[in-house]
Amino acid sequence: MKNPFLVFIYVFFVIIVIPVFLTVGIYKDYIFNEDVVKNKKFESLNIKVYNSRKDKVEIMDLEEYLYNVVASEMPATFNEEALKAQAIAARSYVFYRMENGGDKIPQHKGAIVCTDHTHCQEYLTIEQLKKAHGREWMRKLWPKVKKAVDDTRGMVLVYEGKTIQPLYHSTSGGRTENSEEVFSAKLPYLRSVDSPYEQGSPKLISNVKISKRDFINKFKDADIVLSGNIKEEIKVLSRTEGGSVKEIKIGKKVIRGRDVRKILNLNSSDFEIKINDNYVNIITKGYGHGVGMSQWGANGMANKGYKYDEILKHYFKGVKIEKKY
């Protein structure tokens, strides 16, 4: 290659064109660099998702991933404004994981998020959604979910310039919880607020009926001893601002309300225990941990005419909506 012009073309492509091409390609994917994630304005974004069902890390377009998350996490029959609020919360969850070492979490196996709903957000594939809801649902409601995601493309929730941890749950029972009363961290945007429009939720009020013997045995399995005089051995000592049981005395032990929820497999920690002759009735309000956005409350607000941004700013105090791309 002695021709100077050909040498110049070769050097130009090797040193300038190819590196630029590769760089542009990389920026379409998630780069495991916090500064890039925080400061780069993306046109699109690919992320690594650990598919727990397949035991495999997959590359997904973020917006396409969100179609399935929103369809899996919230009923597609909900008001479009509630679906938009859910889409922004779900997208914020991904960015929060990006900015806070999601790929370092052992369960993620190098990915930012996983498909295990007990650990991250629920994610059902198209095939699973079809099986769960049927073809008519896919024809009528799948486009509605996609539109909610598309209409909020690139939007995330931030507090003082940082993406928030956007917790959400099914039903609060009338008032959400302060984060520190359920989890360990006190976060300024996860404050207890009224959630008055949840009347449509099937889990707003629930009743569990159990025999006294089974009730005693369930606590016995948790190393808590009760005699036959249950009414005298149970006393709620304190409740959270949101109304959940904070501490309760069972027998001679004082335990947390969320421990009772786990022992008895209750819908929430907002419960009352009523003792009858042969049975124990446990009445619960709400479904889930109660922190952040109530999904049924969001739908209720939307049906009252509130827009997605108003819904989000009600449940997440002091936040702003930022468009990343």
Question: Mean pLDDT throughout 210-235?
Answer: 92
Predicted local confidence at residue 180, as pLDDT: 97
d(Cα 35, Cα 170) in Å, to the nearest integer?
Answer: 34
Q: Using an 8 Å Cβ cutoff, are 325 and 63 in contact? A: no
Residue 293 has pLDDT above 50, yes or no: yes
Percent of the chain at pLDDT above 70? Answer: 86
d(Cα 27, Cα 46) in Å, to the nearest integer?
Answer: 9
CA distances from 96 to 90, 103, 218, 241, 274 (A): 10, 11, 38, 27, 42
Confidence of residue 119 (pLDDT cuts 50, 70, 90): confident
Q: Using an 8 Å Cβ cutoff, are 45 and 36 in contact? A: no
d(Cα 158, Cα 162) in Å, to the nearest integer?
Answer: 5
Domain limits of the chain?
34-200+289-323, 205-285
Predicted local confidence at residue 45, as pLDDT: 87
Q: Using an 8 Å Cβ cutoff, are 301 and 311 in contact? A: yes
Confidence of residue 277 (pLDDT cuts 50, 70, 90): confident
Residue 182 has pLDDT above 60, yes or no: yes
- The residue whose two tokens read 């009730």 is 215
The residues pairing with 114 across neighbouring beta strands, listed in sequence order, are 50
Residue 172 has pLDDT above 50, yes or no: yes
Residue 278 burial by CB count (10 A; 0-12/13-18/19+): exposed, middle or buried?
exposed
Residue 38 has pLDDT above 80, yes or no: no
CA distances from 305 to 21, 81, 205, 302 (A): 47, 9, 25, 5
d(Cα 209, Cα 258) in Å, to the nearest integer?
Answer: 19
CA distances from 120 to 20, 96, 117, 165 (A): 35, 12, 5, 12
Predicted local confidence at residue 20, as pLDDT: 42
Per-residue pLDDT tens digits for 39-97? 455 556 899 999 998 999 999 999 999 999 999 999 999 999 999 999 999 999 999 99
The chain-wide mean pLDDT, for the chain, equals 89
Question: Mean pLDDT throughout 101-111?
Answer: 94
What 3-state DSSP class applies to 257?
A: helix
Q: Using an 8 Å Cβ cutoff, are 14 and 80 in contact? A: no
Residue 34 has pLDDT above 70, yes or no: no
Supply φ then ψ for residue 177, to 5 degrees: -105, 150
Mean pLDDT lowest among 1-10, 22-31, 128-137, 204-213: 22-31
d(Cα 59, Cα 68) in Å, to the nearest integer?
Answer: 14
Predicted local confidence at residue 21, as pLDDT: 42
Residue 267 has pLDDT above 50, yes or no: yes
Question: Mean pLDDT throughout 91-111?
Answer: 95
The residues pairing with 220 across neighbouring beta strands, listed in sequence order, are none
